[in-house]
Structure 1
Amino acid sequence: MTAYDCYVGSDGALGDRARSVRRTVFIEEQGVSEAEEMDDKDGVATHVLLTDGDEPVATARLRLVGEATAKVERVAVLADYRGEGLGVRVMDAVETVAGDRGATEAKLHGQTQVRGFYERLGYEAVGEEFEEAGIPHVEMVKPLD
């Protein structure tokens, strides 16, 4: 089994490498527009990046959106690395950072095609399905303990 390195940091430290994963997954694979994917929130977010050697392979970002609420965004794993538990590892890292910063709840807009993944991690859907970047999503929340 490959040992992946996990990095947590600012946009300046990790942003370009994280965006390379997001570009491949969201823009090239899923057809999300660059304007929608590469928004102005990277600079205020904390980024989590997993690498295989020097190669970025999985990422997510986190923003505190309330006194005790963290928003998990842009969770992406390159296709060749899916099924190896990297999504779980990225989410664990994001939730740890959120808890360390005082968040008691995490929320996200999960693509409905991966809703089951988030449910297995303890997230619960709230509200109705909606479209974001042309893709069906559902808002999901999880208490952090």
Structure 2
Amino acid sequence: MKTNIVETDEQQKDAFAVRREVFVEEQNVPPEIEIDELENEAIHFVGYDKEKAIAAGRLRLVDDYGKLERVCVLKPYRGLSFGKQIISEMERVIKEKGYPKAKLNAQTHAEAFYLSLGYKTISDEFMDAGIPHVTMIKLL
């Protein structure tokens, strides 16, 4: 997979299309929650398998950490390390920008995946968009 920091309108459309398929169509997140007022302050990422957009995520630099958000991989491409690759690129940017840690709100079904990447759970379970989540951090 080739991971890009979004620089063009076409790449942004591709990232939003992946997010829409995973979160809105697959997980029934309302579209007005999925695309929100924080899009313009985020650094967006999109991953491609050849020409097809298959993964996406956004990163916001907040306080003393980089916040990974909207990380997703299209269903047919899961389990092939593409999620790990896009997160690695997001963490690279966090370190490059001089931030010491990464933080995210993981859906509980993905908690073990993030634990395997070195994240630690720091919250009890909570609901977001009708889906159970936990907050996790990783020192970079």
TM-score bracket, shorter-length normalisation: over 0.9
Counterpart of 1:128 in 2: which secondary structure? coil
CA-to-partner distance for each residue in 1:20-50, whole Å, 9 max, x for gaps? 0000000000000001101111111111111
TM-score between the two structures when normalised by the length of structure 1 = 0.92
Match of 2:130 among 121, 130, 134: 134
TM-score (norm 2): 0.95
1:23 counterpart (20, 24, 39): 20
Instruction: Show the counterpart of 1:56.
Output: 53
Distance apart, 1:5 and its partner CA = 1.6
Kindly tell me the number of residue pairs found equivalent between the two proteins: 140
Q: Percent identity?
A: 39
Give the match's secondary structure for 2:80: coil
Structure 2, gaps ≥5 residues long? none
What's 2:82 paired with?
86
1:39-69 Cα deviation digits (max 9, x unpaired): 1111111111110122110011100011x31
Given that 1:10 and 1:46 are in contact with CA atoms closer than 8 Å, whether structure 2 keeps it comes out as no
The structural deviation recorded for 1:14 is: 3.0
- Structure 1 portions without partners, runs of 5+: none
Separation of aligned partners in 2, 1:113 and 1:100: 30
